């Protein structure tokens, strides 16, 4: 690279010297042509040209022109080049005046030579920038000609409000690939708008006309331009769209109403059918709790635990400890974080393998890191599998929670957050009953120690391990059938990142002893969810992919609840988080549960133990 720089500088030196001679020759020739004077100067140029080249080289070198990077032009570079061209041309002019006895040349010739020198010297330095600009201009010109000859993307717009109006005015400023968009028709639920035009596009009817309009105009893309659309309306709308024939895109609200950035257009995904509001967080409150502290996450490699780790990282903790019995899950999370954040993440994330039932291992980890906060996400949570082995469900979810809680007290943890579930309310299965017992354990532990114990209840999360969504998607990919347990079964859903953020927020506002309940929005009918997933894959439910109802599984309810009858509910500062009214729990309850579990083989089976502490459990 150094040799290349020397070569380039040498070429510029020779170019500048010849440009100076050429500029004066051309200026003299032009002046002669205009009859300003009539004096032959070829002899003068031959005799004294080498002096001028010395003037040029000296002026350009001293001005620092040869040390400038002309790939990045600045005002300083322009001024240096102007100075060099001016000084060198002034020296030539003065020498000619002396040689002619101060009678020649005319000052106008000197000015012409100066401008020619400046323009040509600047040109040889920026020719590559000019060439690239010309090439870009030519490509844009050709691209525009191609777009004018290309058939546009044929679009059907849903919505005829102000948002849709703004979008129409700006739609063709942004293209997908090399093709522009053209809206052929609009549908809107407002009957008063039917038969009218929005910016020249007809509003032809309501959502029921979508299939006919897709056929009529050979629609390739459906744009949903209703930012406030509810989840029920979105799910109903999807039923009319033949997704096997056209792409569905959602237009997110944008701040500047004069433009429509391409990134505001996103493909419809299953989370859009939930229609949930954006999660609002009190980042200041969370930072007070997390920043600079050491956080331990049990089950940190799982779907909920790993997202908790990612979200906690945003609030600048000193360290995050991933405690998991699955080495593969923990390792995969670490590799993902290394890819995203680089090797520096090793100073923050630490993996420790172990079980929450192993008190000796817990003591080792707590003594090593002294965490200030614990998120307990480790649990057995697959409903049908826990029905087969209730003893392990109680052992891991209840006794494991108690063992971890006692360790947190022993090592002075400030706050302990249990990840619970809506299945803990009036449970109909072993998993839900065991999580309800875990809630009782942490409330009992909270009543007698400085550590603040809280629980957070929420329903299903999209994409989590064991979630129905990936199961349906796998079945659709295999060609069906999609299996649903009951035509009337309903569930609450939220995304994994949203659940993790709200869990952290709940922990930040906790005082100890609370059971927080996340606002899960409206319940979703599982059969409708299956139909929409089939449509989103481009198939027709019941025709291309069949849905089979297999009957409720052991321990499964038609609907889940978030609140026990005696708890009631109160609002918090966050509109998406509620808190159950505290119920008096004896401080000795956690010890009684542990003693009964240790002796249940003698005094009765595990089912009797569950019924004793969760009398509302109905199998």
Q: How many residues does the chain have?
A: 619
Confirm if 124 and 49 have CB atoms less than 8 A apart.
Answer: no
- In sequence order, the 6+-apart residues with CB closer than 8 A to the CB of 24 are 45, 52, 89, 92, 109, 113
pLDDT digits (tens, 9 = 90+) for 40-86: 555 566 566 666 667 777 777 777 776 655 555 567 677 777 887 77
pLDDT digits (tens, 9 = 90+) for 558-597: 666 555 444 556 666 666 677 776 667 888 888 898 888 8
Q: How far apart are CA 574 and CA 492, in angstroms?
A: 19
CA angle 556, 562, 563 (to 5 degrees): 120
Confirm if 400 and 356 have CB atoms less than 8 A apart.
Answer: yes
Confirm if 406 and 376 have CB atoms less than 8 A apart.
Answer: no
pLDDT digits (tens, 9 = 90+) for 150-164: 678 888 999 888 888
Instruction: Taking residues 204-217, report their average pLDDT.
Output: 90
Where b means 16+ CB within 10 Å and e means fewer, 201-238 reads bbbbbbbebbeebbeebebbbbbbbbeebebeebbebb
What is the CA 172 to chain-centroid distance, rounded?
26
Q: Of 69, 65, 97, nearest to 83 (Cα)? A: 65
Q: Is residue 248 predicted with pLDDT exceeding 80?
A: yes
Domain limits, CATH 3.40.50.720, in the chain = 153-268, 283-464+492-522+560-613
Instruction: Taking residues 312-319, report their average pLDDT.
Output: 89
Which contiguous run of DSSP H or E holds residue 197? Answer: strand 197-198
Confirm if 305 and 378 have CB atoms less than 8 A apart.
Answer: yes
Instruction: Report the CATH superfamily, name and number, of domain 283-464+492-522+560-613.
Output: NAD(P)-binding Rossmann-like Domain (3.40.50.720)
pLDDT digits (tens, 9 = 90+) for 498-549: 788 888 888 888 888 888 887 766 677 788 888 878 877 777 788 888 888 8
| pLDDT given for residue 257 in this prediction | 42
Mean pLDDT of the chain: 78
pLDDT digits (tens, 9 = 90+) for 155-191: 899 988 888 887 787 765 555 555 678 889 999 988 8
Higher pLDDT, 362 or 19: 362
Give the fold, CATH level 3, of 153-268: Rossmann fold (3.40.50)
Confirm if 441 and 593 have CB atoms less than 8 A apart.
Answer: yes
Q: Where are the alpha helices (DSSP H) in 150-230?
A: 162-170, 210-217
Q: How far apart are CA 348 and CA 397, in angstroms?
A: 28
| pLDDT given for residue 256 in this prediction | 42
Where b means 16+ CB within 10 Å and e means fewer, 598-607 reads eebeeeeebb
Q: How far apart are CA 172 and CA 180, in angstroms?
A: 6
pTM of the predicted model over 0.75: no
The rounded percent of the chain whose pLDDT value lies above 90 is 16
Higher pLDDT, 351 or 98: 351
Q: Is residue 459 predicted with pLDDT exceeding 60?
A: yes
| pLDDT given for residue 261 in this prediction | 44
């Amino acid at each position: 690279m150094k040799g290349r720089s020397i070569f380039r500088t040498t070429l510029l030196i020779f170019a500048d010297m010849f440009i100076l001679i050429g500029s004066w020759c051309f200026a003299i020739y032009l002046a002669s042509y205009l009859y300003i004077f009539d004096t032959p100067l070829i002899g003068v140029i031959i005799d004294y040209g080498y002096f001028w080249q010395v003037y040029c080289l000296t002026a350009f070198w001293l001005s620092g022109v040869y040390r400038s990077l002309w790939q990045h032009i600045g005002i300083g570079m322009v001024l240096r080049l102007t100075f060099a061209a001016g000084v060198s041309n002034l020296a030539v002019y003065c020498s000619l005046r002396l040689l002619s006895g101060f009678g020649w040349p005319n000052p106008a010739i000197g000015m012409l030579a100066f401008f020619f020198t400046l323009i040509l010297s600047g040109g040889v330095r920026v020719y590559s920038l000019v060439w690239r600009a010309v090439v870009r201009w030519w490509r844009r010109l050709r691209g525009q000609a191609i777009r004018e000859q290309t058939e546009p993307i044929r679009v059907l717009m849903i919505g005829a409000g102000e948002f849709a109006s703004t979008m129409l005015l700006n739609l063709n400023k942004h293209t997908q690939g090399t093709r522009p968009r053209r809206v052929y028709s609009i549908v809107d639920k407002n009957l008063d708008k039917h038969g009218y035009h929005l910016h020249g596009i007809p509003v032809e009817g309501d959502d029921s006309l979508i299939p006919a309009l897709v056929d009529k105009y050979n629609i390739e893309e459906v744009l949903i331009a209703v930012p406030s659309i509810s989840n029920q309306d979105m799910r109903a709308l999807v039923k009319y769209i033949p997704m096997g024939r056209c792409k569905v895109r959602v237009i997110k609200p944008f701040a500047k109403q004069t433009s429509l950035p391409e990134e505001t257009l996103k493909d419809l995904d299953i989370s859009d059918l939930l229609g949930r509001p954006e999660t609002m967080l009190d980042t200041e409150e969370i930072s007070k709790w997390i920043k600079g502290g050491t956080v331990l996450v049990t089950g940190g490699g799982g779907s909920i635990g790993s997202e908790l780790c990612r979200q906690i990282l945003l609030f600048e903790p000193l360290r995050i400890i991933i405690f998991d019995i699955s080495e593969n899950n923990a390792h995969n999370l670490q590799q993902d974080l290394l890819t995203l954040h680089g090797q520096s993440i090793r100073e923050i994330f630490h993996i420790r393998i172990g079980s929450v039932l192993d008190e000796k291992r817990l003591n080792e980890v707590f003594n090593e890191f002294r965490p200030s906060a614990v998120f307990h996400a480790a649990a057995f949570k697959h409903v049908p599998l826990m029905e087969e082995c209730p003893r392990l469900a109680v052992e891991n979810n209840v006794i494991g929670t108690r063992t971890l809680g006692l360790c947190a007290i022993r090592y002075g943890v400030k706050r302990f957050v249990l990840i619970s579930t809506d299945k803990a309310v009036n449970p109909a299965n072993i998993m839900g009953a065991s999580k309800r017992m875990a809630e009782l354990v942490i409330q009992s532990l909270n009543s007698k120690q400085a550590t603040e114990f809280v629980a957070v209840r929420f329903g299903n999360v999209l994409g989590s391990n064991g979630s129905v969504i990936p199961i349906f998607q796998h079945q659709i990919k295999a060609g069906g059938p999609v299996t649903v347990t009951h035509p009337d079964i309903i569930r609450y859903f939220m995304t994994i990142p949203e659940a993790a953020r709200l869990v952290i927020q709940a922990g930040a506002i906790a005082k100890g002893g609370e059971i927080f309940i996340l606002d899960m929005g409206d319940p979703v009918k599982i059969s409708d969810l299956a139909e929409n997933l089939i449509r989103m894959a481009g198939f027709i439910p019941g025709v291309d992919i069949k849905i089979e109802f297999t009957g409720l599984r052991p321990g499964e309810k038609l609907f889940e609840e978030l609140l026990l009858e005696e708890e009631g509910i109160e609002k918090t500062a966050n509109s998406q988080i509620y808190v159950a009214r505290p119920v008096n729990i004896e401080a000795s309850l956690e010890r009684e549960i542990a003693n009964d579990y240790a002796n249940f083989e003698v005094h009765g089976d595990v089912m009797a133990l569950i019924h004793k502490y969760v009398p509302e459990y109905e199998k």
